[in-house]
């Protein structure tokens, strides 16, 4: 009987060191052992994306490795893989549904998931700055990395790819919240995060001291909608202006978000135009990757 670590990769010789070949064949036939490619065997309990990476011929890295550990993933959902520089005959994704971005490595790739340090380094070199910040925010919030780890990752990439620690915020509750914060601060606006306003409650952002920006990264249910409307009315009654932003606008229409907030910040207070909604009718399909550090292999 096999006792396999679901995160380990086994070669044929590894298996035969403890059981006869007949036991290996029975385990494969019964689905208790998976052969992903030549001399690559794993437990069926290994997470599916790790299996996919090994089957193609690499290991999860960059945003894919960080997402596997619980970090936010940018909207482009393809796999990012580390592959040995001398690799050949990479397989296509078994599902046929994933785009694959390859990050070539001079080191041997022997595991299904790259280390956090390696993933952070590749993240900075691969993703647009705002996406890197959003992923780093979530990694900090999850305790996956600390400030020193971010500094070390910065030291491993050219200056043009580095992210200033002052741009990061571990209190960000979602990746799209981070994207909105970056856009507003890049526009020169004063932005305070997770502010508690008496009579209103905690808000995502308070911009220039008088514009509340709420990022709606969820599907609204009736109870939540009514609660948010009440909060908005309380805020407007107290002289604030409110801008609500949905997923698509946060991801794909940052200039529109900034313009709405700037207009709200400069306009005279008034209930008639006190609440601005930036919502779309459906989910975003935008692929915003700017692959500097990776090569798109399949799409």
Residues 261, 211 contacting (CB under 8 angstroms): yes
For the segment 100-125, what is each residue's pLDDT rounded down to a tens digit? 999 998 887 889 999 999 999 999 99
Tell me the residue range of the domain where 36 lies. 1-46
Model confidence pLDDT, tens digit, residues 30-74? 999 999 999 999 999 999 999 999 999 999 999 999 999 999 999
pTM, whole model, 2 decimals?
0.83
Which of 138, 166, 194 corresponds to the end of one domain?
A: 166
Residues 190, 215: one domain? yes
Residues 144 and 56 in one domain: yes
- CATH for 270: 3.40.960.10
Q: What is the pLDDT of residue 86?
A: 81
The two structure tokens encoding residue 92: 């296509």
Split into its structural domains, the chain has a count of 3
Domain assignment present for residue 154? The answer is yes
Query: Do 156 and 249 belong together in one domain?
Result: no
Domain membership flag for residue 289: no
Q: Where is pLDDT greater, at 32 or 89?
A: 32
Question: Do residues 145 and 139 touch, judged by C-beta distance below 8 A?
Answer: yes
Percent of the chain with pLDDT over 90: 71
Rounded to 5 degrees, φ, ψ at 114 are -70, 165
pLDDT above 60 for 293: no
Quick one: 14 and 53 in the same domain?
Answer: no
pLDDT in tens, 125-178: 999 999 999 999 999 999 999 999 999 999 999 999 999 999 999 999 999 999
pLDDT above 50: residue 257:
yes
Instruction: Dump the DSSP string for 95-159.
Output: SS---EEEEEESS---SSB--HHHHHHHHHHHS-HHHHHHHHHHHHHTTS--HHHHHHHHHTS-G
In angstroms, the CA 118 to CA 106 distance is 13
Is the pLDDT at 95 greater than 90, yes or no?
A: no
Decide if 107 is inside a domain. yes
| CA nearest to 56, candidates 96, 25, 27, 24 | 96
CA distances from residue 18 to 8, 11, 13, 252 in whole angstroms, order as listed: 15, 12, 9, 53
Q: 237 and 201: one domain? A: yes
Angstrom distance (rounded) from CA 109 to CA 177:
34
Instruction: Assess whether 59 and 110 both reside in one domain.
Output: yes
Q: Are 135 and 117 in contact (CB under 8 A)?
A: no
Average pLDDT over residues 221-246: 81
Query: Are 161 and 141 in a shared domain?
Result: yes
The verdict on 55 and 162 lying in the same domain is: yes
pLDDT winner (highest mean) among 2-11, 51-60, 227-236:
51-60
Does residue 295 sit within a domain?
no
Q: Are 67 and 50 in contact (CB under 8 A)?
A: no
128 and 89 share a domain? yes
| 108: Cβ contacts below 8 Å, ≥ 6 apart | 84
Q: 141, 166, 191 — which closes off a domain?
A: 166
DSSP reduced 3-state for 174:
coil
Do 112 and 31 lie in one domain? The reply is: no
Q: Give a yes or no: residue 291 inside a domain.
A: no
Residue 298 lies in a domain: no
Are 3 and 25 members of one domain?
yes
| Single residue among 29, 46, 63 that ends a domain in this structure | 46
pLDDT of 282 over the 50 cut: no
Q: 227 or 73: which carries more pLDDT confidence?
A: 73
Please state, rounded to an integer, the average pLDDT across all residues of the chain: 86
What is the C-alpha to C-alpha distance for residues 15 and 8, in angstroms, rounded to an integer?
12
How far apart are the C-alpha atoms of 267 and 185, rounded to whole Å? 19
What span, in angstroms and rounded, lies between the C-alpha atoms of 177 and 213?
10
Please tell me the predicted confidence (pLDDT) of residue 112.
95
Q: 227 or 212, which is more confident?
A: 212
pLDDT above 70 for 295? no
Do both 246 and 267 map to the same domain?
Answer: yes
Give me the pLDDT at residue 226, please: 65
CA distances from 214 to 20, 91, 194, 229 (A): 61, 44, 10, 12
**Does residue 287 lie in a domain region?**
no
pLDDT bracket for residue 236 (50, 70, 90):
confident
Taking 70 as the threshold, does the pLDDT of residue 228 lie above it?
yes
Judge whether 40 lies within some domain.
yes
């Amino acid at each position: 009987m096999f006792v396999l670590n679901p995160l380990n990769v086994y070669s044929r010789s590894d298996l035969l060191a403890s059981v006869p070949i007949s036991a290996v064949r029975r385990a494969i036939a019964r689905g208790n052992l998976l052969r992903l490619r030549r001399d690559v065997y794993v437990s069926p309990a290994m997470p599916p994306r790790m299996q996919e990476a090994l089957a193609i011929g690499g290991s999860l890295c960059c945003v894919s490795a960080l997402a596997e550990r619980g970090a936010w993933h940018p909207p482009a959902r393809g796999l990012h893989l580390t592959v040995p520089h001398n690799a050949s005959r990479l397989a296509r994704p078994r599902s046929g549904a994933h785009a694959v971005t390859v990050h070539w490595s001079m080191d041997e790739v022997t595991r299904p998931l790259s280390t956090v340090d390696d993933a952070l380094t590749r993240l900075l070199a691969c993703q647009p700055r705002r996406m890197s910040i959003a992923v780093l925010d979530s990694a900090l919030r999850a305790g996956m990395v600390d400030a020193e780890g971010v500094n070390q990752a910065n030291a491993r990439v050219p200056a043009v790819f580095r992210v200033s620690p002052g741009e990061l915020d571990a209190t960000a509750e979602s990746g799209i919240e981070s994207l909105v914060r970056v856009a507003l601060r890049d526009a020169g606006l004063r932005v305070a995060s997770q502010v508690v306003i008496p009579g209103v409650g905690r808000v995502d952002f308070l911009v220039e001291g008088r514009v509340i920006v709420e990022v709606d990264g969820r599907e609204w249910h009736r109870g939540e909608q009514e609660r948010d409307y009440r909060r908005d009315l309380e805020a407007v009654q107290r002289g604030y202006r409110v801008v609500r932003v949905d997923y698509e606008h946060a991801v794909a229409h940052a200039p529109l978000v900034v313009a709405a907030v700037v207009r709200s910040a400069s306009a005279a207070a008034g209930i008639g135009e006190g609440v601005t909604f930036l919502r779309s009718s459906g989910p975003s399909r935008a692929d915003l990757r700017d692959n500097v550090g990776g090569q798109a292999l399949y799409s």
